[in-house]
Structure 1
Amino acid sequence: MFLSKSAKEKAYEKWVDSLTPIGASPFQSRVFRSWASIDESDYNFHLSNSSYAKALDGARFKLAAQLLPKFLLAGGVIPLAGTHFHFVREIPIMARYEIRITLEAWDDKWIYIVCRFVSKPKRSTKSKNLAKKDIDTSSSSSASFFHAPINSSGVSMSSTPALPTDAPAPPTDMAKLTAALLASEEPDGATLHTVTVSQMCFKMGRITVPPAIVFAANGLGAPPAPSALDTYSATNPPPHWSQVQAISSRTHGGSIKKLRDFFRGGWKDVPEGERWWEEAMSGGVEVRRRRNLETLELLRRGMEGARGMR
């Protein structure tokens, strides 16, 4: 309250940096928990299909707040272009469930977020002994939000148009990825109820911001070399973080306004070969991005093709 202006600015930046996932992978999953409340279930005593979209709104916003705080503080928005649903199994009324949300792929404009609605089987005496084998989700957020149930009619349905019967079979690696996305059981034994894919983009006003720039500006990026002694973090930031601070941090000569201008198109002034966000998103991150994009782009192409049907 009685701090000087410079002290307040330092305290504010320290708080923002504490929210920023410096050194984290863009593919890091988050977990959000909810339950099938009565008001969001249907006459079949299952979560209503219409409740999925409501749940996704909360889950996607929480993911954005955790992964991209600097983009949001600079005034950025993340509009939704479409969501595709694949209903695998219904969620009974009053049952608890999780939304496991992951940013899986992106190109120069679009990002693809995959959400998996799962529930864990009730523990018996035997299952309690197997609990230690469950996947450790302690690093994922356990934040809950008001009951945002999601429900299916019990019949497997998909908003994704099917490939024509004479279409060539996808490559082996693409087939494996598709099978993994639609598996009926998770590696930790959880039951899969629904898979959704959301197509979104980043906007600063009316200007579209390339995803790689947004991710790198929030500290996300590839991990250090295997020979490195430590992983990247706030105390051991990735190499490109000094570039971000020079743009966004007042103590380093930047400001939120400069960051906003950078997102609006200032990044185009950075010469080829000096674009630090490309280096930040290279290596294993780029390999996984390309692999996942091959599969997830099929959804967008299918819907764009459907628009032209008469």
Structure 2
Amino acid sequence: MSCLALVNSALGSVRFFIEAQLRFLNPALRLLPSAMKYIGILLLLINARSFPLGWHCRVLYPVAEFLVALQFTKLRLLFSFSNRAGKKAALEAWYETRMPVGFHPLREVWTYKSWASPDDCDFLLHLNNSSYGKAMDCARFRMAIETFPNFLRCGGWAPLAATHYHFIREIPMFAPYEVRASVGAWDDKWIWVIARFVKPPSKKSKGKGKVKATSASISNEDSNSASVSTALPDIVTEIANGNASENGPKSGASPSATAQALLARAAQVPEVDGALVYTVTVAQLCYKLGRRTVPPAVILAANGFSAPLPSSSPSLSSSLHTPSPSLDADARTPPAHWAETRALRASIPALKAFYAGGWRETEQGWWREALAGCEAERRGCVVA
């Protein structure tokens, strides 16, 4: 038999084998297009949070929520029977309900809820380190809308200078988590925001935490205030009455060292409700209006934050025991300096001029008095 015949015989055997396999796989091959379609749809759904503009939608959602509520309020006032002055007063009153009136700057916590989706996780099936920044962006933006709406109305913003991370535990894939953000410290230029990634406690553990907190508050109001104080790091520095550098730290604060000190301290503090802490981060920001830097104390006080001295303002001592942001704004007690803020808010151009440098020419220094109650807490913790 020639070589050509052997080759033809071998090719025939291979052809027969392939045809047999194709006949066997033919039903499966007919289903392959449908299977690939469903697999493709499943992959799209799994990675939906990473679609183009997906991150932008999550970050800008608080802005959209605010604008929708604003337009609804304006529409409601449009069909009301009030005169122009009454409508303007009602609109300003609505703006006031969106402000942290009477809140203690070092006690409040703003929560952003999310979950570890597959597109944010790595091959070890837990939240990738690079995904923490995405969640932080959403948490900080929501916090900005709720903490300094007056400043945003004037065109101000809070650029991020640095972020420090301390990873304690991994967040498993599909696990829900909360980002609990709070003000940790500030000086004449910088403000540091502490964010804690935590596992939300179960309903059972939440109930135990509430009972424990309630019994503590009944037994001793001061001990309750102290327990809240330990839950959040008490770190800040002095802000000037006019020129920010006048009464600030003489040698100047070290932003990186302060952030590291905040980070180390926050990592040691457990959550009040028993939530499991995954990660602690500290973000360093400043307030900008154009190219001008506005001192954090001015921003905080002008937007309603208050921590007055109990001796100087006995009627406002309740503000030291901070109301929750969920409370109705009508139930809050306006701080003593609120008349100054209302006068500024009467004209957005005047408010913008105040932020742009007019605060330097204000002799009263009402923002310093508004935050005098937390002076002892904040002065001892910024690293010089």
TM-score range, shorter chain: 0.7 to 0.9
Aligned equivalents of 1:30, 1:135: Cα separation in 2: 19
Instruction: Summarize the alignment of residues 110-149 of structure 1 with structure 2, pairs less than 5 Å apart.
Output: 110-120=190-200, 130=208, 132-133=210-211
Q: CA deviation at 1:188?
A: 3.0
The number of equivalent residue pairs is 247
Unpaired segments ≥5 residues, structure 2:
1-77, 215-259, 320-328
1:258 partnered with 2:350: yes
Check the 8 A contact 1:83/1:199 in 2, yes or no.
yes
Check the 8 A contact 1:105/1:290 in 2, yes or no.
no
Aligned equivalents of 1:269, 1:132: Cα separation in 2: 47
Aligned counterpart, 2:381: 292
Normalised TM-score (structure 2) = 0.59
2:162 counterpart SS class: strand
Instruction: Summarize the alignment of residues 194-205 of structure 1 with structure 2, pairs less than 5 Å apart.
Output: 194-205=279-290
Unpaired segments ≥5 residues, structure 1:
137-174, 250-254, 298-310
Aligned equivalents of 1:213, 1:81: Cα separation in 2: 20
Check the 8 A contact 1:21/1:67 in 2, yes or no.
yes
**Residue of 323, 331, 345 corresponding to 1:248:** 345
**Residue of 361, 369, 377 corresponding to 1:279:** 369
Check the 8 A contact 1:133/1:188 in 2, yes or no.
no
Q: CA deviation at 1:83?
A: 0.5
Aligned counterpart, 2:21: none
Normalised TM-score (structure 1) = 0.72
Q: Which has the higher contact order (CA 8 A, sep 6+)?
A: 1
Check the 8 A contact 1:184/1:192 in 2, yes or no.
no
Question: Which protein is richer in helix relative to its size?
Answer: 2
| Structure-2 change in CA distance of 1:47 and 1:178 (3 Å) | closer
Q: CA deviation at 1:224?
A: 5.7
**Residue of 235, 239, 243 corresponding to 2:336:** 239
Q: CA deviation at 1:180?
A: 4.1
**Deviations for 1:7-42, whole angstroms, at most 9, x for unmatched residues?**
331121011111111111112112221111111111
1:228 partnered with 2:314: yes
| Structure-2 change in CA distance of 1:12 and 1:291 (3 Å) | same
Aligned equivalents of 1:184, 1:21: Cα separation in 2: 25
**Deviations for 1:45-82, whole angstroms, at most 9, x for unmatched residues?**
00011111110111011111111111111211110001
Check the 8 A contact 2:166/2:263 in 1, yes or no.
no
Aligned counterpart, 1:91: 171
Q: CA deviation at 1:276?
A: 0.6
Aligned equivalents of 1:280, 1:128: Cα separation in 2: 33
Paired letter, 1:213: V
Aligned counterpart, 1:39: 119
Check the 8 A contact 2:306/2:370 in 1, yes or no.
yes
Aligned equivalents of 1:262, 1:101: Cα separation in 2: 28
Aligned equivalents of 1:222, 1:229: Cα separation in 2: 12
The CA RMSD measured in Å over matched residues stands at: 2.6
2:268 counterpart SS class: coil
Aligned counterpart, 1:29: 109
Aligned counterpart, 1:10: 89
Check the 8 A contact 1:25/1:223 in 2, yes or no.
no
**Deviations for 1:180-239, whole angstroms, at most 9, x for unmatched residues?**
411384343222111101000001111110110001101112146278356357663211
Q: Which has the larger radius of gyration?
A: 2
Aligned equivalents of 1:77, 1:214: Cα separation in 2: 11
Paired letter, 2:357: G
| % identity of equivalent residues | 44
